[in-house]
Amino acid sequence: MFNGSSNVEVLILSSNFLRHVPKHLPPALYKLHLKNNKLEKIPPGAFSELSSLRELYLQNNYLTDEGLDNETFWKLSSLEYLDLSSNNLSRVPAGLPRSLVLLHLEKNAIRSVDANVLTPIRSLEYLLLHSNQLREQGIHPLAFQGLKRLHTVHLYNNALERVPSGLPRRVRTLMILHNQITGIGREDFATTYFLEELNLSYNRITSPQVHRDAFRKLRLLRSLDLSGNRLHTLPPGLPRNVHVLKVKRNELAALARGALAGMAQLRELYLTSNRLRSRALGPRAWVDLAHLQLLDIAGNQLTEIPEGLPESLEYLYLQNNKISAVPANAFDSTPNLKGIFLRFNKLAVGSVVDSAFRRLKHLQVLDIEGNLEFGDISKDRGRLGKEKEEEEEEEEEEEETR
């Protein structure tokens, strides 16, 4: 089929209803697309002459464990990118090239990661195993041993009941959202010193099941997402150097005293869609958050603007609460605010004191849409100022005409 095409470097055979890998593929290929076909197996030696191949796309086929043997990819000594996603695999294939940098295995039916299938791939940096059927016992404790370059691991949308043991020591981004994890043990992250981004959202984590020392080794962590769990209180011992903390859609009714103590590096805090009430947020709740720029407390049960907010705050989201008034001193502690979002509360015309916004020289957006007597008055402050200037100019022109 490909006689006389020995110099072809890129071959795209996607979406052609292929049931078999074509024979005698051009040996100079460095990129081969076979996605969106009907391949169920790859015969022995199909890729044996492709020593220059760097990228192989096999996603959206019907490949099974039986359709791949230990030598299917072994001769691909230059392969760096392999996409086997959206097939019918139940385990990570053996005999993968040691040169791989990025491995797509998502959207299969993978239930196990054996001890020695990944460990020879010392160059691996990205491992995508999300949307499979992995349980904690299906991942061998030594499955990631020795993978010193592996920095990004996606395990979301599986059936993990707990954080897998033996995580890569140098992992920087770990996505374990949408699983069935109920707690975080003391040693779960004891060896992942380099972790920078950890997403544990939409699991079944409860406050009593988070060990107070669970995050003690995560000194480089910058982003932690605990949204969509069953937390009644913020877990103790949160990493102090984190920049972004998301605890949306939990069952928080209060912020315990000292819950955010020592988190001076925090830039963004998301507490959206919980059960927080004004009386449960004391003025000292934010006292240590000297660098906080964004605070989202939308979708709670607040009846007042929170007190004692950090001076550094630039964006404040308070929509979908029960706030009924904006007093004159509401924003005295936050002169750097650029955006205030108060839509869908219980504000009335007389309940908002005009002077509350006078000190806010940087304010650009004030959103009060959807309140009882305001209607849609969401305006860009900059545009309002421009309109006012135009009105003044028109008045001056009229006076000159007279």
pLDDT tens for 281-309 read 877 899 999 999 999 999 999 999 999 99
pLDDT surpasses 90 at 400 = no
Name the phi and psi angles at 174, rounded to 5: -130, 115
- Residue predicted with more confidence, 45 or 372: 45
Residue 289 inside a domain? The answer is yes
Q: Give the DSSP letter string of 228-271.
A: TSB-SSPPTT--TT-SEEE--SS------TTTTTT-TT--EEE-
127 found inside a domain: no
Q: Which of 167, 68, 84 is nearest to 132 (CA)?
A: 84
Residue 299 within a domain:
yes
277 beta partners: 301
The answer to whether position 187 is within a domain reads: no
pLDDT tens profile 306-349: 999 999 999 999 999 999 999 999 999 999 999 999 999 999 98
pLDDT band at residue 398 under the 50/70/90 scheme:
very low
Q: Is residue 338 part of a domain?
A: yes
Calculate mean pLDDT across residues 222-237.
97
Q: What is the DSSP letter of 110?
A: -
The reply to whether 393 falls in a domain is: yes
> Within a domain: residue 55?
no
Range of the domain at 275: 252-402
Any idea what the Cα angle at residue 301 is, between residues 299 and 304, rounded to 5°? 110
> C-alpha 32: how far from its chain's center?
31
Q: Residue 69 carries which side chain, given as an amino acid letter?
A: D
Q: What local confidence, expressed as pLDDT, does residue 350 receive?
A: 86
Judge whether 321 lies within some domain. Answer: yes
Question: What is the structure's pLDDT at 168?
Answer: 96
More reliable by pLDDT, 257 or 202: 202
Amino acid at 279: R
CATH code of the domain covering residue 268: 3.80.10.10
The 10s digit of each residue's pLDDT in 87-142 is: 999 999 999 999 999 999 999 999 999 999 999 999 999 999 999 999 999 999 99
Q: Does the predicted model carry a pTM greater than 0.85? A: yes
| Residue 154: φ, ψ to 5° | -110, 115
pLDDT digit string (tens) for 163-220?
999 999 999 999 999 999 999 999 999 999 999 999 999 999 999 999 999 999 999 9
Contact call for residues 254 and 277 (beta carbons, < 8 A): yes
How many structural domains are present in the chain?
A: 1
> What rounded mean pLDDT belongs to the chain?
92
Asked if pLDDT for residue 381 goes beyond 60, the answer is no
